[in-house]
Each structure stands twice: as C-alpha cells, then as structure tokens.
Structure 1
Amino acid sequence: MSKMPPLLSPPLAAYRAEYRQQFIKPGYQGWLHFAFTVCMASSIIAFCALQLNAVTRWEWLALPLTFLYCNLSEYFGHRGPMHHLRPGLRMVYERHSKQHHRFFTEREMAFESSRDFKVVLFPPVLVTYFLLVFGTPVALVLAWLTTPNVGYLFALMATAYFLNYELLHFAYHLPPHHVVARLPGMRVLRRLHTTHHDQALMAHHNFNISYPLMDWIFGTLHSGKK
C-alpha cells in the first residue's frame, strides 16, 4: 500500500507517530499480519468443509443460527467491554476506545501505510485464541450434543464470520478512492462505521462492524446521514 499524502490534523499526526513508536515494533509487517489472519481462517474453513458428510436439512440450520449467534456476540462484545470498562477487560477497552478510536477519527479513517494494519487487525495470538481455544470447545460440545456435522458447520460459519469481520473492518479503513471502497454495499457499510468513529456517537451507535442486524433490532443503528 502506498503512503497517503500528509493530510492529517497536527494533533492526530502527532498521536499516530507516538502510537507507532510505542506499540508497533520496527520489524512489524502489515501484509504478513493480514496474510496470517486470512490463511489461518481459510485453512480452518476448508478443513471443516472437508469433514462434512451427508448433511441433512436440519443440520444445515446450524449455518444461519451460528451467523445470528456471531452477529449478536459481535454486537454485545463491541457495545460492552470495547466501549465500557469492565473488570478484568481493561486492555480490551484501552486498545479499542482509547487507541483505535483515537488513531482513526470520523474525519481521518484511512491507513497511511501497511504498518497501520496493526491498529485494525486482531493480534495473531488473539486470532489463534478466538479460532482454536474459544471456538473448538463449543464445536466439540455441539458435536457431542447433536451430530459431528453440526459441530463442523458451527466451526465453519464462526470462522467465516470472524474472517468476514476482519476483512470488512480492514476495508473500512482503506482510502476512500480504493477499488474495494467501490464494491456493492461497501459505501453504506463504510458510512455506518465512519459514523461509529464519531466521538460523540461511538459509545451509543453502530456496534455491528459487519452487518447491522443487531443494531437495527436493539435500536442503536445510526444512518450517518446529516
């Protein structure tokens, strides 16, 4: 990714420089970080798909139900500890509300270079935790309570949702002229997320990073239109 022109406000430019010096190691490679997330998630999705065997109609219901579960988890995880300090979760709150939302404002949302990917993508250790340590036990319990197909379908959809979350969030912080920003539906989703980065709105609106289903259900959707 080519470096963007220096159009930032002086306070934001100063904070970004301070953040990079304090939190981004000299050897950090943004595209390698991106590739790790995509490859690990894609490998799990492919593995789960290959394990499926003669899936029945009722077993396929695991896909939409898991999607709804993930959308709900995304909503409450974002609305809760990411924007409101909870005991034992200070690091989550600090990294999101105090750092991510300060690094990217509603007026200055774009990466300047691939080194800024670290401010958006989950750290590899958390990617591993979410996909293996957290997701695997749930899939095993579901497989034990129902069928192996249901367990694999849960793991497949949950991993696909996580990857979709990461890719969409990544896309929202690309420059507005980027080809990805012009994909169908992206303009609306980017606007919703940009609205969420408004300091006056971030703790109250648009907590779904991906699809604003739960924001609509719980009345926290803000269109972003003036």
Structure 2
Amino acid sequence: MSERQVLIVDDEFAIRDMLRMALELSGFRVLEAENIRDAYTLIIDERPDLVLLDWMLPGGSGLELLRRIKGNEVTRELPVIMLTAKTAEDNLVQGLDVGADDYITKPFAPRELMARITALLRRMPGGEHLEKLQVQDLVLDGDSRRIFLGERALEMGPTEFNLLQFFMSHPERAYSRSQLLDQVWGANVYVEERTVDVHIRRLRKALQTPDNDYSDLIQTVRGTGYRFSARGTAAR
C-alpha cells in the first residue's frame, strides 16, 4: 500500500494541502491538480491508483471529469472518490450513477477519508485472492477479476465485482444494507445505506446482455435488503 499514488483534484489550496499531508503520513505518494484539464493530463501520464475528485471545479464540474474517466476504456477502472459539499441525495446518487466508487461530504475527518481510501484500494485488483465461482452460465474468476455470462465478458466496476463475489459466495441468504456495507465496503468505513441501492442497480444492469438476463439473481427482500438466489429461475 505504501507505493500507491493518489491524485487530489480540488481548486482550494488549503484542502489539497490538508489532504496531501494526511495521505503522505499514511504512506501514499500524492499528485495534485486544481482543474479538469490538468487532472486529466496527470491521469493519462501518471496513472494514479485512485482519484479524490472535488464536485465543484473551475472550467467544469468534477462530474464532467468523472464521465471522461469512466467513458475511457483505458481509465474506466480507475477508482474515484467524490469530495462534495452538496448534501442533497439526488446529487450524491448522480455521482454514483455516473461511476464514482464512493463519495464523502465536506467537512470530513481525514481519518474517515483514509479509511475509505484503504477499503476501496483493498477491493481493487491485486487485493485478496478470490476463488472461481459459477452459477449456471455466470462465472466469476477471482484470479483475473473477470466475469463471464456465457461466452461474453461483462464490464463491471470494482465495487460491483466485490458485491457480486460476496453474493455468489453466500447464496440464498438475505442481507440488510448495513450488513452488505460491513461485508463489502468494510466495517470501519462510513457510507450511507443509499449507496448500496445504487450499486445493486448497477450490478443488475451489468448482468443483462443481449443474450442473457441474470439480473433477477439479485433479489430485493422487502423489509430486509437483498439476496442472491438462483431458485425459482428458469433454466437458461
């Protein structure tokens, strides 16, 4: 973890300075940018391991940069944590829908942010070994961190991958949003339960292809949360 590199994208020097000191004390190397243009150049040239991205930036919003990152095949797997002063749920969900892996609302404690960063990087390729799992034509290969539905490789973000891996490892049991946060995001990471719903929606979408639809494997359990189950589904 000590060799990991984080890019801070924020136009306020005081915030960048605070984040840089906290990151360096935790053993990270740090890159800084104060606008979208410089940030994207650093992403392409330096290939950071994670981006801390402010919502409001000169010359465009952080959401615009997020769309560029997630829309580029080379950078789409780059994990992004949004830094935002916006507290309206719709704004936070919008960032997650575009592809943000997490968000944290200002003001925040550096300790909480470090916990979020550590948990997110742990879920990235190169983390814990994951076994090969299969349910009908759905195959999750932990070694390569690839997922196949029939002959088709599915495109899926790191959080959705880990969520699916947990579900496939623990089928037929209902989990609350709080339990899923503890198991997939980490017990010491403070994330709103609404975040789970956004990633569940993304996961279901990823499990739909022109040839197959496995989205119904992720079942909503009213009053509880979610369950992974192949029972009752038609043979495919």
**Which protein is richer in strand relative to its size?**
2
Larger relative helix fraction: 1
Greater relative contact order structure (CA < 8 Å, 6+ sep)? 1
TM range (shorter): under 0.3
In the superposition, the TM-score normalised over structure 1's length comes to 0.26
